[in-house]
Amino acid sequence: MTVAPPTALAPAAPAPGPAHAPASAAAARSSVRDLLRRAGVSLDSVTAADVLLVTSELVTNAIRHGGGLAAFHIEITDDALLLSVADTNPDPPLPRTGTPDRPGGYGWPLVQRLADRVDVRSHGGGKTISAELRLA
């Protein structure tokens, strides 16, 4: 994985409907694990941790800060995992600093650091954040 700033990425179209929106970050991670297994993709431990952490952070942020998870889409290309998360808040994510009484603020910077490409697009009724993570 690169630590260079991510470049623009055309978002994968989120699959519509509640059946495609996991109820939790844990369910989203499970979906990613299942897809990788079905595709026969074997990852080293660092890449696997990065993929699952980005998945978890994007879904958690949609639930906590984005008004709820509206859609979730994952797909594997030749050498990458494409992940799109849609929520109901059109505002882009903003970095924030945690405080002792309100910890946090690490998720969005982690996503930007770990993903090879990130794209945020506002649309009627919310936004879609897409991330690409190389698997090889």
Whole-prediction pTM? 0.82
* Secondary-structure class of domain 18-94+101-134 per CATH: alpha beta
pLDDT of residue 20: 65
Least confident of 55-64, 65-74, 87-96, 116-125: 87-96
b (16+ CB within 10 A) / e for 20-58:
bbbeebeebbebbeeebeeeebebeeebbebbbbbbbbb
**Sign of the torsion angle spanned by Cα atoms 80, 22, 64, 87:** positive
